[in-house]
Amino acid sequence: MPEATWLRASITTAALTLGLAACAGETASGAQPLRGALYTGFTLIDPVERTVSEDAWLVVEEGRIAAFGAGPSPEGAFSELHELSGHYALPGFIDVHGHLTAGPHAVQILDGQPTVTIDSVDEISEFNARMALAFGVTTVRNPGADPEASAAYDIRVSTGEWTGPDAYHAGAVIQPPPFGGAAFDYPRTEEDWRAEAARQAALGMRYFKLYQGLTEAELEVGARVAHEHGLEPIAHLDEVSWTRAAELGVRGFLHALPTSPELLEPDVREDYINGRSPDSRFMYQWFERVEFDGPQMQALFTTLAETGATVDLTLQVNALMTGPDAVERVYPPEHRSYIHPQTLEGLLSFGAMALADWTEKDTERAEAAMARVFEFARRLDAAGVPIGIGTDGPGGGPSFGTELELMVDAGFETWRVLELATAGGARVMGLEHQTGRWAAGYEADFVFLRANPLDDITHARDVGWVMSNGKLHDVNPLTHDVATSGEAARPVTSAPR
Ligand SMILES: [Zn+2]
């Protein structure tokens, strides 16, 4: 038989006989330098090229992609051989909005005031990290937490003490009280602003997260000090429009919730402002009134495209805010055991608060408004605004698949959804030359699915193996402490955050 075929056959045999980390030793062609690890037999899915290659192979050296292809595997002596037939391999998923190191939402009394906190808890962060990886997420943008906890996360993952995805963090979220604790900060003077940006930069943060309670003047300072300290300003806004914030230097917008009155046309603006109650109903009320072809939204699309600002779509946040029953769809009981019990509890109680007094009419209107949320997502994409897939969860987990399903519901082609989940997320995070693609020299970050996601996007949750920086992980040990029999399911009264 041809040499390559023989080699492949012998390698497969070696892998089968010696187990998954078999040492191949010398090959037929004689002694050759070790060439890292060889993975064979899987189906390669390339969401950028939109190609599917059966019987594919991959060589990983020092955590990076050395070579890949289909058909007979390359010659060489490999330190490891892994046979992965029956699996569909894609670049690892990228959650551009995953609260890896945030602890549970809580209300604490700080300085005599009731304060909303999301203080980091090591045990929870460690759990989040494993669950992210177990669902194929190899890179996370962590949009705000105690920067010391996030810096510690990076060290623990790089030393192997914890197993988790690569993370790029925003530090303490800049937001006035009643938000507080280590995950929030509210600078009051120019000097305070600079000191906080300097502190976060020194701790290795990449983003500076500006939150919805800030005034336009504060956003201006925040974006400025972020840039001065090499941090990328990202924002979750409400009052101040995305157009204005982009002009002020904000580079990334979080959530499909551009709910500023300024982005509505003048004839419906007053009505929106007057009808706004201090709860979450504004989320659908804004979408009921928006005119995507009007001057305000057209200016937004143009400004975002021109400034290169990115948007993370966390469509499940919109989906959750469609009423008390939505939680059953977005966080079905079978997914809940993959969320840390404390996180789940915080999530559900805050959700209950957000949807208190919600009537059937509210639900009807919010559900109808989802069509406009979906249109917003498609409009951003059509305008050339880089969009990424975010969960707003603890950093992936089963929610990542939920978000992919919502993108399909929103009318995106499955190929496009898979591209946004990988290379698109890398683009949003400025990592497009580093990860998210089948390309030599890139980080060896991959997810090996047990079924083809092109046939059904829900297969994106059916992860067999995941590789992060060249290290292959079996999903089962990652989830060893998760109760999968459904006993973690608990009665739910309302939807999360
Ligand atoms: Zn969030």
What is the per-residue pLDDT for 33?
60
Does residue 342 share a domain with residue 215? yes
Q: In angstroms, what is the span from residue 169 Cα to ligand 1's centroid? A: 12
Q: Would you say residue 16 has pLDDT above 80?
A: no
Q: In angstroms, what is the span from residue 414 Cα to ligand 1's centroid? A: 25
Does the residue 486 lie in any domain? no
With a CB cutoff of 8 Å and minimum separation 6, the contacts of 262 are 240, 241, 243, 244, 269, 296
Does residue 102 share a domain with residue 64? no
Q: Which of 369, 400, 428 is the last residue of a domain?
A: 428
Place of tokens 């290169």: 308
- At 231 the three-state DSSP class reads coil
Does the residue 10 lie in any domain? yes
State the total domains in the chain.
2
What is the per-residue pLDDT for 490?
34
Under a CB-based contact definition with an 8 Å cutoff, are residues 58 and 72 in contact? no
Q: In angstroms, what is the span from residue 95 Cα to ligand 1's centroid? A: 11
Does residue 205 share a domain with residue 106? yes
Does residue 399 share a domain with residue 300? yes
Does residue 175 share a domain with residue 206? yes
Q: Would you say residue 279 has pLDDT above 60?
A: yes
Q: In angstroms, what is the span from residue 97 Cα to ligand 1's centroid? A: 6
Closest CA to 184 of 232, 213, 143, 145: 145
Q: Residue 314 and residue 376: Cα distance in Å, rounded?
A: 12
Mean of pLDDT values over 251-274: 97
Q: In angstroms, what is the span from residue 303 Cα to ligand 1's centroid? A: 24
Q: In angstroms, what is the span from residue 231 Cα to ligand 1's centroid? A: 18
Q: In angstroms, what is the span from residue 318 Cα to ligand 1's centroid? A: 12
Q: In angstroms, what is the span from residue 242 Cα to ligand 1's centroid? A: 17
What is the per-residue pLDDT for 405?
98
Residue 251: Cβ within 10 Å count = 22
Under a CB-based contact definition with an 8 Å cutoff, are residues 92 and 136 in contact? yes
Mean of pLDDT values over 32-36: 70
Does residue 221 share a domain with residue 98? yes
Does residue 122 share a domain with residue 74? no
Q: In angstroms, what is the span from residue 470 Cα to ligand 1's centroid? A: 29
Does residue 160 share a domain with residue 39? no
Q: Would you say residue 364 has pLDDT above 90?
A: yes
Mean of pLDDT values over 101-117: 90
CATH number at residue 72: 2.30.40.10
Does the residue 495 lie in any domain? no
Q: Residue 120 and residue 150: Cα distance in Å, rounded?
A: 9
Q: In angstroms, what is the span from residue 186 Cα to ligand 1's centroid? A: 18
Q: In angstroms, what is the span from residue 98 Cα to ligand 1's centroid? A: 7
Does the residue 65 lie in any domain? yes
Q: In angstroms, what is the span from residue 209 Cα to ligand 1's centroid? A: 10
Does residue 297 share a domain with residue 225? yes
Q: Residue 122 and residue 101: Cα distance in Å, rounded?
A: 8
DSSP labels, 422-482:
IIIHHHHTT-TTTSSSS-TTSB--EEEESS-TTT-GGGGG-EEEEEETTEEEEHHHHTTT-
Does residue 73 share a domain with residue 188? no
What is the per-residue pLDDT for 18?
34
What is the per-residue pLDDT for 355?
85
Q: In angstroms, what is the span from residue 269 Cα to ligand 1's centroid? A: 27
Q: Is the peptide bond preceding residue 178 cis, with omega within 30 degrees of 0?
A: yes
Does residue 133 share a domain with residue 33? no
Residue 3: band (very low, low, confident or very high) from pLDDT cuts 50, 70, 90: very low
Q: In angstroms, what is the span from residue 42 Cα to ligand 1's centroid? A: 35
Q: In angstroms, what is the span from residue 247 Cα to ligand 1's centroid? A: 23
Q: In angstroms, what is the span from residue 317 Cα to ligand 1's centroid? A: 9
Q: In angstroms, what is the span from residue 178 Cα to ligand 1's centroid? A: 17
Could you tell me the residue range of the domain that residue 412 belongs to?
94-428
Q: In angstroms, what is the span from residue 102 Cα to ligand 1's centroid? A: 10
Q: In angstroms, what is the span from residue 364 Cα to ligand 1's centroid? A: 25
Token representation of residue 402:
């939920």
Q: In angstroms, what is the span from residue 99 Cα to ligand 1's centroid? A: 7
Q: In angstroms, what is the span from residue 255 Cα to ligand 1's centroid? A: 8
pLDDT in tens, 449-497: 999 999 999 999 999 999 999 999 999 999 988 866 444 333 333 333 3
Q: In angstroms, what is the span from residue 360 Cα to ligand 1's centroid? A: 27
Q: In angstroms, what is the span from residue 314 Cα to ligand 1's centroid? A: 9
Q: In angstroms, what is the span from residue 368 Cα to ligand 1's centroid? A: 24
- At 358 the three-state DSSP class reads coil
Q: In angstroms, what is the span from residue 170 Cα to ligand 1's centroid? A: 11
Q: In angstroms, what is the span from residue 180 Cα to ligand 1's centroid? A: 15
Q: In angstroms, what is the span from residue 392 Cα to ligand 1's centroid? A: 4
Q: Which of 403, 428, 453 is the last residue of a domain?
A: 428
Q: How do strand 207-210 and strand 37-46 relate by DSSP bridges?
A: unpaired
Q: In angstroms, what is the span from residue 497 Cα to ligand 1's centroid? A: 9
Q: Residue 55 and residue 207: Cα distance in Å, rounded?
A: 40
Q: In angstroms, what is the span from residue 448 Cα to ligand 1's centroid? A: 27
Q: In angstroms, what is the span from residue 424 Cα to ligand 1's centroid? A: 19
CATH number at residue 177: 3.20.20.140
Q: In angstroms, what is the span from residue 361 Cα to ligand 1's centroid? A: 27
pLDDT in tens, 39-93: 999 999 999 999 999 999 999 999 999 999 999 999 888 999 999 999 999 999 9
Does residue 392 share a domain with residue 450? no
Does the residue 218 lie in any domain? yes
